[in-house]
Structure 1
Amino acid sequence: MKLLALDTSTEACTVAVSIEDRTLERFELGTRHAERILIMVSELLAEAGVGLAQLDAFAFGRGPGSFTGLRIGAGVVQGLAFGIDRPVVPISSLAALAQGQKADRVLAAFDARMQQVYWGAYERSPQGLMALRGEERVIAPAHVPLPEGEGWQGAGTGWDQYHDTLTARLAGRLAGWTPGAFPHAADLARLAVPALAAGRAVRADEAVPVYIRDEVAAKQRPRDRTE
């Protein structure tokens, strides 16, 4: 199995190639995702000694995260996958962040601006894969849902921005938080390989971002009086 994974949902621009039991990765922080992502893909494939047409599948961080970043990632993976007719595995960017932490219980949070965070609680399965508990959401830090049990580890830009509020909210349940944590494409690939085997891939044109904020707005929007 040869799979290329990428994530541009945050300030991190990251690409990985998974070849059987070997994974190579590129990771950069900055604001040049649109300029850098295809260069990073080309460099990584060259390092791995793999041609684009030799890939079996793609995976991408489908969000939540930066609207611009998500559009870049989705557009790139659509173009690459469509060109060689390969399936795409959408993976939560919060799940990829959680997968990369050492803890088995992770409260993943991205700064969503507007005094909110993108939030998800994850626990590691016996197979070593992070599984979502509840649902991902966009919410004010002071109102994040309280997870069951103790020993949870915080990670992500939401914690960097709102750690005081989140720590106070989760008192008694929190073991600590990891500053400066971002999703890595290598962890995204780790989640994507079993997801592909389980049949959770989509066609290239179906590889679209999940913004969450738009979904919340749609649920809260008043119904048209003509309905």
Structure 2
Amino acid sequence: MSSYLLALDASSSACSAALIRAEGEHRECLARFEHTPRAHTQRLMPMVDEVLTEAGITPQALDGVAYGQGPGSFTGLRIAAGAAQGLAFGLDCPLVGVSTLEALALQAHRRYHFRHIVTALDARMGEVYTAVWHCQDDVAKRLDSEVVVAPQHVTLPAFEPDWVGVGSGFTLWEQFDDLLKASMTQHLDDLEPRAEEMAWIGLRALQNGGGKAPIEVQPVYLRNDVAWKKPA
């Protein structure tokens, strides 16, 4: 018997949806991904309809829903959270919140076979959302906390070689610490979180009992309060 999990994301300038089907050990994923700045509300649900139609199922066939819970764009996170919570609540199925940084690390691992990864997303205001990962066998293991810091304050564990940086935060490359830059073999600033990896992560979480009631899953902003500097 097949089980289905839908994932959606609007945490960056891109918008994406993915549907994963599991039957025994077999996995199949259908996905949509578009760069749609300021058009997430127009494209997200049509993408959901597209992958469901391609799979030949109705929403009632879903066993769970996952979404990119952050960190990322405040507006995008709220859009995805509202859509995911609405779907899960209406279908009476569990919801899984997936870290956008974990999904980004898994994408880099699956696409390029990187193992020691620093993810960084541009958080604006001269800061990045960042975390450090060790990836193996399609699993991204976080080595430290997800934080929002200035690029020059991003640090690496000393015991891993050959670090690779991925994510929009590395457009601020010149602002990172020289020691960190010397520890990296390369950095890719054009990768963005995708619902495809969130579907794989979400399915694993669901199968391990990680699904929650929709009301219990909330966006992760990291920066909950924006401090405005008053003129002296």
Q: TM-score, normalised by structure 1?
A: 0.90
2:44 corresponds to: 37
Alignment of 1:111-126 (within 5 A): 111-125=122-136
Greater displacement, 24-33 / 170-179: 170-179
The root-mean-square deviation of aligned C-alpha atoms, in Å, is 1.6
2:174 corresponds to: 164
1:215–1:123 CA distance, 2 compared to 1 (3 A): farther
State whether residues 143 and 169 of structure 1, in contact with CA within 8 Å, keep that contact through their aligned partners in structure 2.
Answer: no
- Which residue, out of 201, 208, 211, partners 1:198? 208
Structure 1 stretches of 4+ with a deviation exceeding 3 A read none
Tell me the number of residue pairs that the alignment of Structure 1 and Structure 2 aligns.
Answer: 215
Q: Structure 2: state its 5+ residue gaps.
A: 228-232
Q: 2: distance between equivalents of 1:63 and 1:171?
A: 25
State whether residues 105 and 122 of structure 1, in contact with CA within 8 Å, keep that contact through their aligned partners in structure 2.
Answer: yes
Q: 1:118 aligns to what SS in structure 2? A: strand
2:96 corresponds to: 89
1:54–1:63 CA distance, 2 compared to 1 (3 A): same
Q: TM-score, normalised by structure 2?
A: 0.88
Alignment of 1:1-227 (within 5 A): 1-20=3-22, 21-31=27-37, 32-101=39-108, 102=112, 103-125=114-136, 127-148=137-158, 149-160=160-171, 162-166=172-176, 168-214=178-224
- TM-superposed deviation, 1:136: 0.2
- TM-superposed deviation, 1:215: 7.6
State whether residues 132 and 156 of structure 2, in contact with CA within 8 Å, keep that contact through their aligned partners in structure 1.
Answer: no
Q: Structure 1: state its 5+ residue gaps.
A: 218-227
- TM-superposed deviation, 1:147: 2.6
Counterpart of 1:30, as a letter, is: T
Q: 1: distance between equivalents of 2:225 and 2:85?
A: 22
Identity among equivalent positions (%) equals 40
State whether residues 99 and 129 of structure 1, in contact with CA within 8 Å, keep that contact through their aligned partners in structure 2.
Answer: yes
- TM-superposed deviation, 1:167: 6.5
Q: 2: distance between equivalents of 1:2 and 1:69?
A: 24
Q: 1:46 aligns to what SS in structure 2? A: helix
Counterpart of 2:18, as a letter, is: A
Q: 2:144 aligns to what SS in structure 1? A: strand
Q: 1:100 aligns to what SS in structure 2? A: helix
- TM-superposed deviation, 1:169: 4.4
State whether residues 104 and 123 of structure 1, in contact with CA within 8 Å, keep that contact through their aligned partners in structure 2.
Answer: yes
State whether residues 112 and 138 of structure 1, in contact with CA within 8 Å, keep that contact through their aligned partners in structure 2.
Answer: yes
- TM-superposed deviation, 1:30: 1.9
1:167–1:15 CA distance, 2 compared to 1 (3 A): farther
